[in-house]
Amino acid sequence: MNGVQLLLIVGIGIAVTAVARKHRVEPGWLIVVLAAGASFIPGVPRLELESELILALVVPPLLYSATRGASLARFGANLRAIIYLGVVTVVLTAGVLGLLSSLLLPSIGLAAAFVLGSVLAPPDTITTVSHGDEIGLPSRATSILTGESLVNDATALTLFSIAVAAVNGAHATWLGGVGEFFRTAFTGLGIGVGFAIVALLIRKKLGNPTLETALVLLLPFTAFLTAEQAHASGILAVVAAAFFLSINLALDPKHQYPGGYRTRLQEESVWRVMDFLLETFVFAYIGLRLRFVLEDLGAQEPGVVPTLVAAGVLLVAAIVFRVVAVFGLFGRWTLRHRRIARRLQRRPRPPRKRGDRRRGEPLPPPTVKETALVGWVGMRGILTLAAAAGIPEYTDSGEPFPGRAAIQAIALIVTLGTLLIQGTTIGWLARKLDFDLDAERAEQRRLRDIGRQVVAETAAQPVTDVDAAFEAQRLALGRAVAQRRVTEDVARELIEEIDLRQAARHTGHA
What whole-number distance in Å separates Cα of residue 118 and Cα of residue 155? 9
Cis preceding-peptide flag for 302 (omega within 30 of 0): yes
Domain hosting residue 503, numbered range: 438-509
User: How many CA atoms lie within 13 Å of 264's alpha carbon, on the beta-carbon side?
Assistant: 29
Residues 341 and 407 in one domain: yes
pLDDT digits (tens, 9 = 90+) for 314-326: 999 999 999 999 9
What whole-number distance in Å separates Cα of residue 80 and Cα of residue 260? 35
> Given 401, 435, 469, which residue is the final one in a domain?
435
Residues 400 and 502 in one domain: no
pLDDT digits (tens, 9 = 90+) for 372-400: 999 999 888 878 877 887 788 788 888 88
pLDDT digits (tens, 9 = 90+) for 199-210: 988 887 888 888
What whole-number distance in Å separates Cα of residue 137 and Cα of residue 428? 11
Residues 115 and 165 in one domain: yes
pLDDT tier at 359 (50, 70, 90 boundaries)?
A: very low
Task: Provide the total of helices (H) and of strands (E) in the chain, helices listed first.
Answer: 24, 0
What whole-number distance in Å separates Cα of residue 138 and Cα of residue 321? 23
Looking at the domain assignment, is residue 455 inside a domain? yes
> Given 435, 464, 485, which residue is the final one in a domain?
435
Alpha helices in 121-259 (DSSP H): 126-130, 132-135, 139-167, 174-206, 209-229, 234-251
pLDDT tier at 57 (50, 70, 90 boundaries)?
A: confident
The residue that leads in pLDDT, 268 or 351, is 268
What whole-number distance in Å separates Cα of residue 19 and Cα of residue 14? 9
For range 174-197, the mean pLDDT = 84
pLDDT tier at 119 (50, 70, 90 boundaries)?
A: very high
Which has the closest alpha carbon to 263: 210, 312, 313? 210
> Given 420, 435, 450, which residue is the final one in a domain?
435
How confident is the model at residue 310, as a pLDDT?
Answer: 94
Q: What is the distance, to the nearest Å, from the Cα of residue 74 to the centroid of all Cα atoms in its chain? A: 15
Q: What is the mean pLDDT of the chain?
A: 83
Residues 315 and 338 in one domain: yes
Number of domains in the chain: 2
How confident is the model at residue 419, as a pLDDT?
Answer: 85
pTM: 0.80
